[in-house]
Amino acid sequence: MPASDPALAGAAAVALTGLAEAYRPRPVTPLLPWRDPHRLVKPYIITARGRQWDDQMVEFARTGASRQLDFDDAMGSVGLAVVVLHLSDDGAYLVVHSWTKDYQSRLSRFSGVDVDDLRPVPTGVAPSVWELEVLSHERTAYVKHILSGGVDVDAWLEDALDTRPQPKPDGIPSGT
């Protein structure tokens, strides 16, 4: 796949081609909303191939996210948030995104070797392409159901991204 712009020739074209060839979508699993006092949270899990999750991992993520969301509340959160636990090839990532006053949001990221080892990432490190897929969906859902939809919190909670593979109707019982 040659680059169509000379600025993206040579090493840049090779790098882009390598990224494109290695990219694979990852399943996004929505969890049941977390209903905390004065806060509603839509949690998600993204898993790389071969990664599994369990309730204990979700509890670690919830504990870490809750500490960040308490801080966000003090900074002007409106009580709606999204949390993404990403079990990647190279570790675990936690994205905490809360909506605030004046059409703004707060975004915090944590990473670690595993979910019980999450630490804040350096300033400037942005979400991955898989995490951004969830955040993009959630931005659209927030505008649709909260800002433009008469503050329909139930519709916002129901509007969850789910990209898990679905069984084929004519497939074998395992879904493949």
DSSP string, 126-169: PPPHHHHHHHHHHHHHHIIIIITTTS-HHHHHH-----PPPPPT
What is the percentage of the chain residues whose pLDDT exceeds 70? Answer: 93
65: enclosing H helix or E strand: helix 55-74
Task: Summarize pLDDT for 60-78 with one digit per residue, the tens.
Answer: 999 999 999 999 999 999 9
What would the two tokens of residue 176 be? Answer: 């493949």
Q: What is the mean pLDDT of residues 53-63?
A: 97
Q: What is the mean pLDDT of residues 42-58?
A: 97
- DSSP category for residue 40: E
Q: How far apart are CA 96 and CA 174, in angstroms?
A: 34
| C-alpha dihedral, 51 to 57 to 60 to 63, nearest 10° | 100
Q: Label the pairing between strands 34-36 and 39-47.
A: antiparallel
Tokens 């570790």 identify what position?
91
Q: Is the pTM of this model over 0.85?
A: yes
Average pLDDT along the chain? 92
Exposed/middle/buried for residue 55 (C-beta within 10 Å: 0-12, 13-18, 19+): exposed
Tokens 């899990």 identify what position?
45
Q: How far apart are CA 76 and CA 72, in angstroms?
A: 6
Q: What is the mean pLDDT of residues 145-160?
A: 95
